[in-house]
Chains A and B, each alone.
Chain A
Amino acid sequence: MGNPGPPTTYWQALAVAADQGQLYLNDEAAQACYSACDGYILKLKEHQETARRLVNTSGWGDFDSGKELARIFSEKAAGGEDNMVDVLQSHIDVVEEMKVVFNKFFTATGDVDDTNAADVRAEGPK
Protein backbone atom coordinates (compact mmCIF):
# COMPACT_ATOMS: atom_id res chain seq x y z
CA MET A 1 0.00 0.00 0.00
CA GLY A 2 2.79 2.40 0.83
CA ASN A 3 0.72 4.19 3.46
CA PRO A 4 2.53 5.04 6.67
CA GLY A 5 -0.44 3.63 8.64
CA PRO A 6 -2.50 5.46 11.25
CA PRO A 7 -0.77 8.64 12.47
CA THR A 8 -0.46 7.46 16.08
CA THR A 9 1.35 4.31 14.94
CA TYR A 10 3.65 6.51 12.85
CA TRP A 11 4.65 8.64 15.84
CA GLN A 12 4.94 5.58 18.07
CA ALA A 13 7.41 4.19 15.51
CA LEU A 14 9.38 7.44 15.68
CA ALA A 15 9.44 7.14 19.45
CA VAL A 16 10.99 3.67 19.11
CA ALA A 17 13.51 5.04 16.59
CA ALA A 18 14.42 7.78 19.06
CA ASP A 19 14.88 5.19 21.83
CA GLN A 20 17.18 3.18 19.58
CA GLY A 21 19.23 6.23 18.69
CA GLN A 22 18.24 6.17 15.02
CA LEU A 23 16.46 9.50 15.30
CA TYR A 24 17.97 12.61 16.79
CA LEU A 25 16.82 16.17 17.36
CA ASN A 26 18.72 18.73 19.40
CA ASP A 27 17.10 19.45 22.72
CA GLU A 28 16.37 23.11 21.99
CA ALA A 29 14.41 22.27 18.83
CA ALA A 30 12.70 19.39 20.60
CA GLN A 31 11.59 21.66 23.46
CA ALA A 32 10.24 24.22 20.99
CA CYS A 33 8.28 21.46 19.21
CA TYR A 34 7.03 20.16 22.53
CA SER A 35 5.63 23.51 23.63
CA ALA A 36 4.14 24.11 20.16
CA CYS A 37 2.34 20.78 20.62
CA ASP A 38 0.97 21.98 23.96
CA GLY A 39 -0.32 25.18 22.39
CA TYR A 40 -1.96 23.19 19.63
CA ILE A 41 -3.56 20.72 22.04
CA LEU A 42 -5.07 23.58 24.04
CA LYS A 43 -6.58 25.03 20.83
CA LEU A 44 -7.98 21.64 19.86
CA LYS A 45 -9.48 21.16 23.32
CA GLU A 46 -11.07 24.61 23.14
CA HIS A 47 -12.62 23.75 19.78
CA GLN A 48 -13.85 20.49 21.26
CA GLU A 49 -15.54 22.37 24.09
CA THR A 50 -17.05 24.88 21.67
CA ALA A 51 -18.47 22.10 19.48
CA ARG A 52 -19.97 20.44 22.51
CA ARG A 53 -21.39 23.70 23.84
CA LEU A 54 -22.93 24.58 20.48
CA VAL A 55 -24.79 21.28 20.62
CA ASN A 56 -25.96 22.14 24.12
CA THR A 57 -27.37 25.49 22.95
CA SER A 58 -29.16 23.89 20.01
CA GLY A 59 -31.18 21.78 22.44
CA TRP A 60 -33.08 24.85 23.65
CA GLY A 61 -36.27 26.00 22.00
CA ASP A 62 -39.86 24.90 21.56
CA PHE A 63 -40.39 24.19 17.90
CA ASP A 64 -40.15 20.71 16.45
CA SER A 65 -38.47 22.02 13.29
CA GLY A 66 -35.91 23.72 15.53
CA LYS A 67 -35.33 20.45 17.35
CA GLU A 68 -34.91 18.60 14.08
CA LEU A 69 -32.41 21.19 12.93
CA ALA A 70 -30.67 20.92 16.29
CA ARG A 71 -30.49 17.15 15.87
CA ILE A 72 -28.89 17.43 12.44
CA PHE A 73 -26.41 20.07 13.59
CA SER A 74 -25.63 18.28 16.80
CA GLU A 75 -24.83 15.07 14.98
CA LYS A 76 -22.34 16.98 12.90
CA ALA A 77 -20.94 18.98 15.77
CA ALA A 78 -20.76 16.40 18.50
CA GLY A 79 -22.95 13.30 18.53
CA GLY A 80 -23.22 11.44 15.26
CA GLU A 81 -20.81 9.28 13.38
CA ASP A 82 -17.53 11.11 12.69
CA ASN A 83 -18.78 13.83 14.99
CA MET A 84 -16.62 16.89 15.56
CA VAL A 85 -15.83 16.26 19.23
CA ASP A 86 -14.48 12.75 18.65
CA VAL A 87 -12.66 13.71 15.43
CA LEU A 88 -10.90 16.48 17.35
CA GLN A 89 -10.03 13.88 20.00
CA SER A 90 -8.24 11.75 17.43
CA HIS A 91 -6.19 14.83 16.48
CA ILE A 92 -5.38 15.47 20.14
CA ASP A 93 -4.28 11.84 20.54
CA VAL A 94 -1.83 12.19 17.64
CA VAL A 95 -0.35 15.40 19.02
CA GLU A 96 0.07 13.68 22.42
CA GLU A 97 2.12 10.98 20.64
CA MET A 98 4.22 13.71 19.03
CA LYS A 99 4.90 15.17 22.48
CA VAL A 100 6.18 11.79 23.66
CA VAL A 101 8.70 11.74 20.82
CA PHE A 102 9.92 15.33 21.31
CA ASN A 103 10.09 14.83 25.05
CA LYS A 104 12.64 12.03 24.62
CA PHE A 105 15.21 14.46 23.22
CA PHE A 106 15.34 16.83 26.13
CA THR A 107 14.56 14.70 29.15
CA ALA A 108 16.35 11.60 27.92
CA THR A 109 19.54 13.37 26.77
CA GLY A 110 20.61 14.21 30.29
CA ASP A 111 19.81 10.71 31.52
CA VAL A 112 21.68 9.07 28.65
CA ASP A 113 24.71 11.30 29.20
CA ASP A 114 24.75 10.34 32.85
CA THR A 115 24.44 6.66 31.97
CA ASN A 116 27.22 6.85 29.40
CA ALA A 117 29.47 8.71 31.80
CA ALA A 118 28.83 6.08 34.46
CA ASP A 119 29.56 3.28 31.96
CA VAL A 120 32.79 4.92 30.86
CA ARG A 121 33.86 5.38 34.47
CA ALA A 122 32.97 1.78 35.31
CA GLU A 123 34.57 0.15 32.32
CA GLY A 124 37.37 2.58 31.66
CA PRO A 125 38.99 3.17 28.30
CA LYS A 126 39.36 0.02 26.24
Chain B
Amino acid sequence: MRKRVATLVAVATLLAGCGDGVEGSPVAAERWDPCSITPDAIAATGLDPSYRMEGWGEGISVPEWASCVFHAPGGVDYSYGLSVMSSIDHTIAEARANSSNRDGRDLEVGGRDGYMYKTEFGAAIRDCQIALDVPPGVVVFAALYNTADGVDACEVVLKHVNDLERAVPGAPK
Protein backbone atom coordinates (compact mmCIF):
# COMPACT_ATOMS: atom_id res chain seq x y z
CA MET B 1 0.00 0.00 0.00
CA ARG B 2 2.73 2.39 0.98
CA LYS B 3 4.56 1.53 -2.19
CA ARG B 4 1.50 2.32 -4.24
CA VAL B 5 1.17 5.74 -2.58
CA ALA B 6 4.82 6.37 -3.33
CA THR B 7 4.25 5.41 -6.96
CA LEU B 8 1.25 7.74 -7.19
CA VAL B 9 3.29 10.58 -5.75
CA ALA B 10 6.04 9.86 -8.25
CA VAL B 11 3.56 9.80 -11.11
CA ALA B 12 1.95 13.01 -9.90
CA THR B 13 5.35 14.68 -9.69
CA LEU B 14 6.16 13.47 -13.16
CA LEU B 15 2.87 14.83 -14.48
CA ALA B 16 3.46 18.14 -12.75
CA GLY B 17 6.89 18.25 -14.37
CA CYS B 18 5.35 17.62 -17.77
CA GLY B 19 2.78 20.31 -17.07
CA ASP B 20 5.33 23.10 -16.97
CA GLY B 21 4.75 25.50 -19.81
CA VAL B 22 1.90 23.44 -21.18
CA GLU B 23 -1.60 24.88 -21.26
CA GLY B 24 -3.91 22.57 -19.34
CA SER B 25 -7.66 22.84 -19.04
CA PRO B 26 -8.37 25.49 -16.40
CA VAL B 27 -9.39 24.30 -12.96
CA ALA B 28 -12.49 25.74 -11.33
CA ALA B 29 -10.92 28.66 -9.48
CA GLU B 30 -8.73 29.77 -12.36
CA ARG B 31 -9.84 32.84 -14.27
CA TRP B 32 -10.34 32.24 -17.97
CA ASP B 33 -8.29 34.44 -20.29
CA PRO B 34 -10.54 35.88 -23.05
CA CYS B 35 -7.44 36.39 -25.22
CA SER B 36 -7.10 32.60 -25.39
CA ILE B 37 -9.80 32.73 -28.11
CA THR B 38 -7.81 31.82 -31.23
CA PRO B 39 -7.54 34.03 -34.34
CA ASP B 40 -9.16 31.14 -36.26
CA ALA B 41 -12.23 31.27 -34.01
CA ILE B 42 -12.29 35.07 -34.39
CA ALA B 43 -12.19 34.77 -38.19
CA ALA B 44 -14.85 32.05 -38.12
CA THR B 45 -17.30 34.31 -36.29
CA GLY B 46 -16.74 37.11 -38.81
CA LEU B 47 -14.37 39.39 -36.89
CA ASP B 48 -10.91 40.64 -37.90
CA PRO B 49 -8.38 37.92 -36.92
CA SER B 50 -5.45 40.35 -37.24
CA TYR B 51 -6.69 42.67 -34.50
CA ARG B 52 -6.92 42.17 -30.76
CA MET B 53 -6.36 44.43 -27.79
CA GLU B 54 -5.09 42.40 -24.87
CA GLY B 55 -5.68 43.72 -21.37
CA TRP B 56 -6.73 47.23 -20.42
CA GLY B 57 -3.96 49.32 -21.89
CA GLU B 58 -1.06 51.20 -20.41
CA GLY B 59 -1.58 52.65 -16.95
CA ILE B 60 -4.99 51.09 -16.39
CA SER B 61 -5.36 48.37 -13.79
CA VAL B 62 -8.62 46.45 -13.43
CA PRO B 63 -7.67 43.50 -11.22
CA GLU B 64 -11.13 41.94 -11.13
CA TRP B 65 -11.53 41.58 -14.89
CA ALA B 66 -9.41 39.93 -17.58
CA SER B 67 -10.13 41.57 -20.91
CA CYS B 68 -9.71 41.18 -24.64
CA VAL B 69 -11.26 43.31 -27.41
CA PHE B 70 -11.77 42.26 -31.01
CA HIS B 71 -12.91 44.37 -33.96
CA ALA B 72 -15.23 43.87 -36.88
CA PRO B 73 -13.39 43.90 -40.24
CA GLY B 74 -12.75 47.21 -41.96
CA GLY B 75 -9.54 48.48 -40.35
CA VAL B 76 -9.98 51.92 -38.84
CA ASP B 77 -13.54 52.08 -40.20
CA TYR B 78 -14.68 48.98 -38.26
CA SER B 79 -18.30 49.30 -37.25
CA TYR B 80 -18.12 47.71 -33.81
CA GLY B 81 -15.87 46.16 -31.21
CA LEU B 82 -16.51 42.93 -29.32
CA SER B 83 -15.34 43.16 -25.73
CA VAL B 84 -14.87 39.88 -23.86
CA MET B 85 -14.30 40.11 -20.11
CA SER B 86 -13.85 37.40 -17.52
CA SER B 87 -14.03 37.53 -13.73
CA ILE B 88 -14.12 35.16 -10.78
CA ASP B 89 -14.95 38.00 -8.40
CA HIS B 90 -18.41 38.59 -9.83
CA THR B 91 -21.46 36.58 -10.83
CA ILE B 92 -24.29 36.74 -13.34
CA ALA B 93 -26.65 37.50 -10.43
CA GLU B 94 -25.02 40.94 -10.10
CA ALA B 95 -25.83 41.74 -13.73
CA ARG B 96 -29.47 40.81 -13.08
CA ALA B 97 -29.58 42.90 -9.90
CA ASN B 98 -28.04 46.04 -11.43
CA SER B 99 -30.84 48.53 -11.98
CA SER B 100 -28.89 50.49 -14.60
CA ASN B 101 -28.94 47.46 -16.94
CA ARG B 102 -31.84 47.97 -19.39
CA ASP B 103 -34.02 45.61 -21.43
CA GLY B 104 -32.72 42.58 -19.55
CA ARG B 105 -33.74 39.13 -20.68
CA ASP B 106 -32.73 35.62 -19.72
CA LEU B 107 -31.40 33.22 -22.30
CA GLU B 108 -29.51 29.96 -22.56
CA VAL B 109 -26.38 29.53 -24.67
CA GLY B 110 -24.90 26.06 -25.07
CA GLY B 111 -26.63 24.90 -21.90
CA ARG B 112 -25.32 27.86 -19.92
CA ASP B 113 -27.37 30.42 -18.06
CA GLY B 114 -27.13 33.80 -19.79
CA TYR B 115 -28.48 37.30 -19.31
CA MET B 116 -28.69 39.88 -22.09
CA TYR B 117 -28.94 43.61 -21.36
CA LYS B 118 -28.04 47.08 -22.56
CA THR B 119 -26.43 50.01 -20.80
CA GLU B 120 -26.82 53.64 -21.79
CA PHE B 121 -23.83 55.88 -21.28
CA GLY B 122 -23.17 58.53 -23.88
CA ALA B 123 -24.41 58.74 -27.43
CA ALA B 124 -21.30 57.70 -29.37
CA ILE B 125 -21.40 53.99 -28.55
CA ARG B 126 -24.49 51.86 -28.23
CA ASP B 127 -23.96 48.51 -26.60
CA CYS B 128 -25.59 45.19 -25.90
CA GLN B 129 -24.08 42.69 -23.52
CA ILE B 130 -24.47 39.04 -22.63
CA ALA B 131 -23.28 37.75 -19.26
CA LEU B 132 -22.67 33.99 -19.16
CA ASP B 133 -22.62 31.97 -15.97
CA VAL B 134 -19.13 30.42 -15.76
CA PRO B 135 -18.84 29.12 -12.19
CA PRO B 136 -17.38 30.39 -9.95
CA GLY B 137 -17.49 33.61 -11.96
CA VAL B 138 -18.89 35.23 -15.04
CA VAL B 139 -17.88 36.00 -18.64
CA VAL B 140 -19.34 39.10 -20.30
CA PHE B 141 -19.49 39.63 -24.07
CA ALA B 142 -20.32 43.17 -25.21
CA ALA B 143 -20.93 44.54 -28.69
CA LEU B 144 -19.77 48.17 -28.69
CA TYR B 145 -21.35 49.65 -31.79
CA ASN B 146 -19.82 52.93 -32.99
CA THR B 147 -21.64 53.28 -36.32
CA ALA B 148 -25.19 54.58 -36.68
CA ASP B 149 -26.33 52.11 -39.35
CA GLY B 150 -29.44 50.82 -37.62
CA VAL B 151 -27.98 47.38 -36.84
CA ASP B 152 -29.26 45.83 -33.61
CA ALA B 153 -26.26 45.45 -31.29
CA CYS B 154 -28.07 42.64 -29.45
CA GLU B 155 -28.30 40.52 -32.59
CA VAL B 156 -24.59 41.11 -33.17
CA VAL B 157 -23.50 40.08 -29.69
CA LEU B 158 -25.82 37.07 -29.68
CA LYS B 159 -24.32 35.76 -32.91
CA HIS B 160 -20.77 36.04 -31.56
CA VAL B 161 -21.69 34.48 -28.22
CA ASN B 162 -23.28 31.53 -30.01
CA ASP B 163 -20.09 31.09 -32.06
CA LEU B 164 -17.55 31.68 -29.29
CA GLU B 165 -19.27 30.08 -26.30
CA ARG B 166 -17.44 26.80 -26.88
CA ALA B 167 -14.11 28.58 -26.20
CA VAL B 168 -15.32 29.38 -22.68
CA PRO B 169 -14.34 26.66 -20.18
CA GLY B 170 -16.56 24.39 -18.13
CA ALA B 171 -19.59 23.99 -20.40
CA PRO B 172 -22.29 21.83 -18.81
CA LYS B 173 -22.04 18.24 -20.04
Residues of A in contact with B (beta carbons under 8 Å apart): 38-39, 41-42, 45-46, 48-50, 52-57, 59-62, 74, 77-79, 83-86, 88-89
* B21-29, B55-63, B162-170: which lies at the interface: B55-63
B residues within 8 A CB of A49?
53, 69, 81, 83, 125, 144
Provide the bound-state CA to CA distance between A38 and B64, in Å: 32
Query: Chain A nearest CB: distance from B119 CB in Å?
Result: 6
Provide the bound-state CA to CA distance between A115 and B65, in Å: 58
Residues of B in contact with A (beta carbons under 8 Å apart): 53, 56-57, 60, 62, 64-65, 67, 69, 75-76, 78, 81, 83, 85, 87, 90, 94-95, 98, 100-101, 119-125, 127, 129, 140, 142, 144, 146
A residues within 8 A CB of B101?
59
B residues within 8 A CB of A61?
90, 94
Residue pair A74, B121 in contact (C-beta under 8 Å): yes
New A-B contacts (16) at CB < 8 Å, excluding given A39-B76, A53-B67, A78-B125: A42-B76, A45-B78, A46-B53, A46-B57, A49-B53, A49-B125, A50-B56, A52-B125, A54-B62, A55-B119, A59-B100, A59-B119, A60-B64, A60-B94, A61-B94, A79-B120
Could you say which of A59, A84, A88 has the most chain B C-beta atoms within 10 Å of its C-beta?
A59
Query: Chain B nearest CB: distance from A57 CB in Å?
Result: 5
Contact of A41 among B53, B76, B94, B142 (CB under 8 A): B76
Contact of B64 among A46, A57, A74, A88 (CB under 8 A): A57
Query: Looking across the interface, which residue of chain A has its beta carbon closest to that of B142?
Result: A56
Could you say which of A56, A60, A86 has the most chain B C-beta atoms within 10 Å of its C-beta?
A60
Residue pair A53, B123 in contact (C-beta under 8 Å): no
Contact of B124 among A38, A50, A86 (CB under 8 A): A86
Query: Looking across the interface, which residue of chain A has its beta carbon closest to that of B53?
Result: A46
A residues within 8 A CB of B78?
45
Residue pair A78, B98 in contact (C-beta under 8 Å): no
Residue pair B85, A53 in contact (C-beta under 8 Å): yes
Provide the bound-state CA to CA distance between A59 and B83, in Å: 16
Query: Looking across the interface, which residue of chain A has its beta carbon closest to that of B120?
Result: A79
Residue pair B75, A50 in contact (C-beta under 8 Å): no
Provide the bound-state CA to CA distance between A57 and B56, in Å: 12
Residue pair A38, B121 in contact (C-beta under 8 Å): no
A residues within 8 A CB of B127?
52, 56
